[in-house]
Chains A and B, each alone.
Chain A
Amino acid sequence: SQQGEEDPQALSIQEGENATMNCSYKTSINNLQWYRQNSGRGLVHLILIRSNEREKHSGRLRVTLDTSKKSSSLLITASRAADTASYFCTSGTYKYIFGTGTRLKVLA
């Protein structure tokens, strides 16, 4: 099994600012995934980055992966109130392990 642990646990920023959250994991991975969860809803997939990739972009999202440090970061640029959610990272083959997530609050 693999594990993702997100940091910080909570983050509060103003609309228009950038938000950065980090993820650490313990063992070798094939890929790492980031998900968003709006309150009480199912998780929505954001980005999958493979172990041979160092950076990936999707719209306002930028994910980096450092396999030597077993860490990843998710950057949301020009944040909006609609980005308010919890963000989770995970990696896995047969068994996905999720951390407790980063709760992002974007203030209008």
Chain B
Amino acid sequence: NAGVTQTPKFQVLKTGQSMTLQCAQDMNHEYMSWYRQDPGMGLRLIHYSVGAGITDQGEVPNGYNVSRSTTEDFPLRLLSAAPSQTSVYFCASSTDVGETQYFGPGTRLLVL
């Protein structure tokens, strides 16, 4: 099992550009989530999904879109990048709501 994979590992964007952060898991997990972590801070939940076709907003959803067309994939889209979105983004998955989460290695995003 590869676990939770994220691509790219590092990305530089200019203000106003859009991009998609990829997340995939091969553990057949129903629950997937996206977090951002700013320096010295904890993780903040952006969006989550309890299964294919079902997504909902987390703590800080503005500026981000998600979709869940398959169980395996949960991409995060930045619509129009802003410097405030400079952060490290983590994707996680778990068998079900409230269970142990498995995290990907993260994507470092720099918005200039």
Contact = CB atoms under 8 A, between A and B. Distances in A.
Contacts of A45: 100-102
Contacts, number: 56
B33 interface: yes
Contact of B97 (A43, A93, A98, A101): A93
B27 to A, nearest CB: 13
Contacts of B100: 33, 45, 48
A60 interface: no
Interface string B56-78: 10110000000000000000000
Given A41-B106, A42-B90, A48-B99, A100 B45 contact: no
A30 B103 contact: no
Contact of A97 (B41, B45, B104, B106): B45
Contact of B42 (A30, A41, A99): A99
B81 interface: no
Interface residues of B, number: 27
B99 to A, nearest CB: 7
Interface of B: 4, 33, 35, 40-45, 48, 50, 56, 58-59, 88, 90, 92, 97-106
Interface in A40-60: 40-45, 48
Interface residues of A, number: 23
Contacts of A1: 59
Nearest to A99: B42
Given A94-B56, A96-B45, A44 B40 contact: no
Contact of B59 (A30, A42, A95): A95
B104 A42 contact: yes
Contacts of B103: 42-44
Given A40-B106, A41-B105, A44-B103, A93 B98 contact: yes
For the complex of A and B, 9 pairs with smallest distance between CB atoms: A42-B103, A98-B42, A98-B43, A43-B103, A100-B42, A45-B100, A93-B98, A99-B42, A42-B105
Nearest to B6: A42
Contacts of A25: none
